[in-house]
Each structure stands twice: as structure tokens, then as C-alpha cells.
Amino acid sequence: MKKVAIVGGTGYTGVELLRLLARHPEVEVCAITSRSEAGRAVADIYPSLRGEYDLAFTKPTTQTLAQADLVFFATPNGVAMKQAPDLLELGCKVIDLAADFRIQDVSVWSNWYGMEHACPELLDEAVYGLPEVNKASIIGADLVANPGCYPTAVQLGLLPLIEQGLIDTQYLVADCKSGVSGAGRGEAVGSLLCEAGDSFKAYGVAGHRHLPEIKERLCVANDGAVGMTFVPHLVPMIRGIHATMYARLKASEHSLDFVQGLFERRYKDHPFVDVMPIDSHPETRSVRGSNMCRIALHQPQGEDTLVILSAIDNLVKGAAGQAIHNMNLMLGLKETAGLNIVPLAP
């Protein structure tokens, strides 16, 4: 039985890790930390976990965390980079669910996150944890940067086209919508029911922190620069991301049937990507609570613009589920262990 610890267990991502790991056949949670709730039982804060864990929150000391084979950081940006070096030195593997290790260019990271990086020397060692791209590297990794939720949905929708050189990579558009849980559990006026309910708005249009992550990873696939307009929106629901991508096909002979076949071949060995039949419309409720990404392709009026629809649960495939997928690969466990979850309906 492998032991894991979770730093930052009181947020939505932390409790989602606990929910999923409660039924994992080969993993035991040995520590769950929170500075503000140290000493309180997990079930006192999350009654949904009553009977699942006989654990209380503790302070995140290196001594406590070093008992684990792997440590998840479900913490705000800037936390993992301060503790990861010591844990790696002690032989613990680390998965950061925040952004500390996602961007390789430290100057770009500092510009977007407004702080100096505490361990830039680890950026080259960190593996970007998108299993559909970096599975082989994740298997041998000690430090994994779990992708952001928007970047996961967008990359899975665009990568097959970029890898095969089928689209004009200078004119990419990602029009994305997220549920309110993407803002986290912290107190914020914009996340209040009376503020977010019965409303719909764009935000971060001039620049969003996930844009440099998306562009950097697409540039790797493209072996060169890409041009992207990324506009996130907040919708009045709790969970889910729906990304609509627009890309211009380079050649008219690339029919929708051809592109559909390309996507099906690209993801046939990846258990958490479902390429739906042509002209399907994936819904966020069709992935709710699961680690699945559902993708569908459209070519309106048969013209040269391809529309790619991608739907994920932002807390699972966009965060905790993907982290567990990475954990399974890093610890030599069955890839799908703990993640064979049927989405909730209704």
C-alpha cells in the first residue's frame, strides 16, 4: 500500500482528492494538512467524508509529510515551491496542483504570478503532467506540475491538429466557460450566490494566468510560436468547463471525417478522453464528477473553420483526478486505479 499526503486539504481540490482516494485500492492517505484547521477531524469540515477517514488536519511540517511516498500540494500558488525541494531531497515524490512548476520560463512565470520563484533550478526537472502527452516522462518523474483546468480542456482539443500540422497556428481562438468552483473556496464577492447566480460574464480578457501555460505547451507541440486569443467566462454552475476552440484548416481536402479519424487514433490508448461521434455536443453534466474529457468536432457549412468542443469537470480532470492519474503513473500503479467513475446524472 502506497502512502500519500495532501497539503492544503480544506479547499475544493483537497476534498476532491480525499473523495477520490477514499476508494483507491492501492493508496492510503497518511496525512492531511491545514494551518488554519489543525487538530480538527476531516469529517467535521466535510461531513461527506464521515466514515471514510480517521484523520485530523495537521500542520504541514516536513517531518509529517516525509512519511509519504508522494505528496500532493493542493495549495495556493507560491506554496509548493518553498517545500518541494526538501521533500524531494528526502525521497518523496511531489505533485503540485497549483502553478509553481507549470511554466518553464521563470521570467514569464514571475511576470504573471507577481513573485520571485523560490527554486527555479527545479523547473527543468519538473514534468508537465498531461498524461495524454507526457505519459512516459511522468512514469519516471519525481516532480510533476499538474496542468490547469482551462489548459487541460484547451490542449486536448487542439493538440492532435497542431501535432499533424493541419491548422493555421497563428489564429487560434479558445472561448471557455467555467463553473464558480474554479475560483476556489476562499471568500470572494464574485463567488457569492447572489453575485454569480443568474449571470454570465467574461473575465481576464486582457490576460489570464492560464494563457502563458497554454501557449507554452502548444508552442512545444508546434515546434514554434502560436497565436491564441483566450477568453474565459464565469457561468452560474458549480462544476465544469466547456471550451469551444476555433481553428482554420490549412487545406480544404482535410474533411471532417478525416479529422475525426485523426482524433480517434490520437486518443484511442488514452482512457480518459472520449472522442464523440461527429456533430455531437458534449455537456458539462456528462463529465460531472468524473475524470473524463469529452471532445466533439464540427465544421460549420463545410468551410475551413473547424470547431472543437471540449468538456471536463474542472475539479477532477482539471485538478484532482488528473493528479491521481499522474500519481498512478509515478508510483507504478494501474493507470486508471481509483478513477473509473461514472459521471453523475442528473
| Nearest C-alpha neighbor of 18 from the set 6, 2, 26 | 6
Q: In the annotation, is 119 catalytic? A: no
Q: Please pick, among 149, 176, 194, 219, the residue that the annotation labels catalytic.
A: 149
Which residues carry out catalysis? 149
